[in-house]
Amino acid sequence: MPVIDVFVSKGIPIGTALAFMMAVVGLSLPEATLLKKVMTWRLIGIFFGVITLFIIISGYLFNAIL
């Protein structure tokens, strides 16, 4: 991904770049609109909160490991 290559070449850690890539895909408005067809807004909020938490944790873990 060219954006991630630029981030990493500018000095952003790999874990942060990985978290950014996951967040772009996992926390999008089109996803929320699709989920709205089968979930309530409260459940969508919980889903996005859990996904956000695990993306942040995985970013920190990758930064610690790499």
Q: Write down the pLDDT at residue 2.
A: 85
Q: Which residue has the tokens 């709205």?
A: 36
What pTM, to 2 d.p., does this model score? 0.82
pLDDT digits (tens, 9 = 90+) for 37-48: 999 999 999 999
Q: Write down the pLDDT at residue 66.
A: 83
Q: How far apart are CA 18 and CA 3, in angstroms?
A: 11
> Which tokens in the block code for residue 34?
């699709």
Buried/exposed 7-35: b ≥16 CB within 10 Å, e otherwise: beeeeebebbbbbbbbeeeeeeeeeeeee
pLDDT digits (tens, 9 = 90+) for 3-48: 888 999 999 999 999 999 999 988 999 999 999 999 999 999 999 9
> For the chain, what are the domain ranges?
2-65
Q: Which amino acid is at 54?
A: F
**What number is the average pLDDT over the span 55-63?**
94
